[in-house]
């Protein structure tokens, strides 16, 4: 089915915005239209290509950005940073919003590389469902498994897409067994490939038994024509390939691998689709599946163990802060997920972490790097608040009765380096850039009186974060930095009472994060274990280290 969609510029319903039943009904009706999901996978599984293909099928862009061959590669809408375009990978998460059928789709593309797993984790706090891409040839890779585990832990329903079926890969039934055995989820395919991997003819739609036949387009830059055939016509055209697909579908039915909405929403099963994102095969089916099956926003648990109802006064939380998207203005954009009530541009909200008011004069919907002002938004929407220097990752915003949502976890860093400005005459730019990267969560910044402000320690989960930090310091803040690696690999929390004794231990250093929390750095886990055995009275508490394990 081909359905025209548009960029989401959602008008406010005609309901009276004043408190009352009509306003609550408007909030619930608009929330029911929202589908907010993330695209997650192992690196190189095709996330950004799929994001582009979804936008293409929703007809909000005219041509997909990923084309064959590096020489002709154009940047995708969601990969807008210079480093992303150069490397062909996603480094930062991106938000796209558009309308499809009668739904408003909020699509969050995420980094696949493990070095940026903390950014991916934050995005997963802001979605109601996830689309997991699996490479047809590689199956379930390490990062894929970690992301499945996060979704399960957070109760996020997962739709699985087996991508790159147009290339040689594993057997389809073998992949289903792998998903079941390694994730514990029951795969329930909605479509089934006709033709082995590398010879993708189309799919058998298990819901009605029809054959959706695909025709390639040049480079996959435009929507691939799709033709629906009856089973009889499919058999006449595809012969043994159609017969084999039917036989495999019968095996799936006999094993109980049929979609059940209740078990899907409960996180026990995962609908499966077969596709080739780069060729735009199976992408329309995914859009329809998201609209038909993915959950709409629901009441949100708060930090006190209660919940904020959708129809309650406005509330939202900040899950990402990004600067440098507009080189001309050097603005700072805070991505917020709306959890309840209606957002109206210009409203004054309260930041629960500081108790201070924040005026939302500049509010925008984000489409990759492009933005447009909005007047109204609803639960499930992701809104960009501009010039948000007063907001940080994890902050809750609200009107009416106070609410705080659970804080976002910070991962335990494993790589550390001292940063020094290469041009000491640009110390102001150096400090401003380091502070900005810290507030965005690009790196953790650790300081001590001994090292001083001119030599902060950058702490990261993966070394590629260092590359992002140095690139942005040079090109965005015009203060190139030199990094001096430190020998530490383990960080734990300590306190002021224990700090002096911990710092006196050989090969250990105590540094402070921006929020005042003290971290003890060790060369390896054996040094940490040794100190714990010698001095069990010292405070040495683990940080959150394994959200993606």
**Residue 478: both structure tokens together:** 């015009």
Residue 203 CA neighbour count, 13 Å, CB half = 27
Kindly report the backbone phi and psi dihedral angles of residue 263, in degrees, each rounded to the nearest multiple of 5, phi listed first: -70, -30
By C-alpha distance, which of 339, 341, 383, 328 is closest to 361? 383
CA-based radius of gyration for the chain? 25
**Residue 140: both structure tokens together:** 């379930």
Cα distances (angstroms) measured from residue 417 to each of 119, 250, 457? 20, 57, 5
CA 98 to chain centre: 17
H helices within 1-141, ranges in order? 21-33, 47-57, 82-87, 117-124
Residue 113 labelled as part of a binding site: yes
Residue 111 labelled as part of a binding site: yes
Task: Confirm if 198 and 281 have CB atoms less than 8 A apart.
Answer: no
Q: 3-state class of 108 per DSSP?
A: strand
Alpha carbons 29 and 479: distance in angstroms, whole number: 49
**Residue 475: both structure tokens together:** 């090109």
Task: Confirm if 502 and 510 have CB atoms less than 8 A apart.
Answer: yes
Size of the chain, expressed as the number of residues it contains? 549
By C-alpha distance, which of 338, 343, 345 is closest to 362? 345
Residue with tokens 């991505």: 335
Task: Confirm if 120 and 43 have CB atoms less than 8 A apart.
Answer: no
By C-alpha distance, which of 325, 422, 386 is closest to 82? 325
Strand partners, 202: 194, 213
Alpha carbons 85 and 64: distance in angstroms, whole number: 14
85: left (phi over 0), alpha (psi -120 to 50) or beta: alpha
H or E segment and range at residue 146: helix 142-154
> Do the bridges between strand 307-308 and strand 300-301 make them parallel or antiparallel, or are there none, so unpaired?
antiparallel
> Do the bridges between strand 129-135 and strand 158-163 make them parallel or antiparallel, or are there none, so unpaired?
parallel
Task: Confirm if 318 and 336 have CB atoms less than 8 A apart.
Answer: yes
Residue 110 labelled as part of a binding site: yes
Eight-class DSSP state of 411:
B
Q: 3-state class of 337 per DSSP?
A: strand
**Residue 505: both structure tokens together:** 């231990």
Residue 109 labelled as part of a binding site: yes
Alpha carbons 336 and 395: distance in angstroms, whole number: 9
Eight-class DSSP state of 508:
E
Q: Which residues define the annotated binding site for GTP?
A: 109-113
Q: Which residues define the annotated binding site?
A: 109-113
């Amino acid at each position: 089915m081909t359905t025209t969609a548009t960029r989401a510029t959602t008008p406010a319903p005609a309901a009276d915005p004043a408190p009352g039943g009509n306003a609550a009904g408007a909030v619930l009706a608009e929330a029911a239209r929202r589908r907010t999901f993330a695209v997650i996978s192992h690196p190189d599984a095709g996330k950004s290509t799929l994001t582009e293909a979804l936008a293409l099928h929703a007809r909000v862009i005219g041509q997909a950005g990923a084309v064959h061959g590096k020489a002709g590669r154009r940047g995708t809408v969601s990969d807008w940073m210079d480093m992303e375009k150069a490397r062909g990978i996603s480094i930062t998460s991106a938000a796209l919003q558009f309308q499809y059928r009668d739904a408003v789709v909020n699509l969050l593309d995420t980094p696949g590389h493990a070095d940026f797993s903390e950014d991916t984790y934050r995005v997963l706090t802001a979605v109601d469902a996830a689309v997991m891409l699996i490479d047809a040839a590689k199956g379930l890779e390490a990062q894929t498994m970690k992301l499945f585990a996060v979704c399960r832990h957070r109760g996020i329903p997962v739709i699985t897409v087996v991508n790159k079926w147009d290339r040689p890969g594993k057997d389809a039934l073998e992949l289903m067994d792998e998903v079941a055995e390694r994730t514990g989820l029951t795969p329930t395919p909605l479509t089934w490939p006709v033709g082995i991997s590398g010879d993708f003819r189309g799919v058998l739609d298990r819901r009605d038994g029809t054959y959706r036949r695909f025709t390639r387009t040049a480079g996959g830059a435009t929507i691939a024509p799709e033709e629906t055939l009856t089973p009889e016509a499919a058999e006449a055209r595809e012969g043994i390939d159609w017969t084999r697909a039917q036989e495999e579908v019968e095996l799936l039915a006999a094993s109980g691998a049929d979609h059940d909405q209740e078990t899907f929403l409960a996180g026990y099963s995962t609908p499966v689709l077969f596709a080739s994102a780069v060729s735009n095969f199976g992408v329309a089916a995914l859009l329809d599946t998201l609209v038909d099956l993915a959950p709409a926003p629901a009441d949100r648990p708060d930090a006190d163990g209660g919940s904020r109802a959708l129809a309650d006064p406005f509330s939202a939380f900040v899950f990402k802060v990004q600067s440098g998207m507009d080189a001309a203005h050097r603005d700072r954009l805070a991505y917020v997920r709306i959890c309840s009530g209606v957002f109206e541009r210009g409203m004054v909200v309260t930041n629960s972490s500081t108790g201070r008011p924040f005026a939302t004069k500049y509010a925008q919907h984000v489409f990759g790097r492009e933005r447009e002002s909005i007047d109204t938004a609803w639960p499930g929407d992701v809104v960009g608040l501009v010039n948000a220097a007063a907001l940080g990752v994890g902050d809750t915003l609200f009107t009416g009765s106070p609410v705080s949502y659970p804080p976002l976890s910070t991962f335990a860093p494993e790589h550390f380096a001292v940063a020094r400005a290469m041009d000491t005459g640009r110390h102001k730019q150096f400090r401003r850039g380091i502070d900005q990267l810290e507030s965005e969560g690009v790196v953790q910044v650790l300081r001590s009186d001994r090292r001083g402000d001119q030599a902060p320690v950058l702490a990261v989960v993966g070394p590629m974060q260092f590359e992002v930090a140095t690139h942005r310091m040079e090109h965005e803040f015009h203060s190139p930095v030199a990094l001096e690696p430190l020998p530490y690999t383990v960080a734990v929390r300590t306190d002021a009472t224990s700090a002096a004794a911990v710092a006196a231990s050989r090969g250990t250093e105590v540094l402070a994060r921006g929020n005042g929390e003290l971290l003890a750095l060790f060369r390896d886990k054996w040094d940490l274990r040794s100190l714990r055995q010698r001095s069990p009275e010292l405070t040495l508490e683990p940080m959150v280290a394994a959200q993606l394990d």
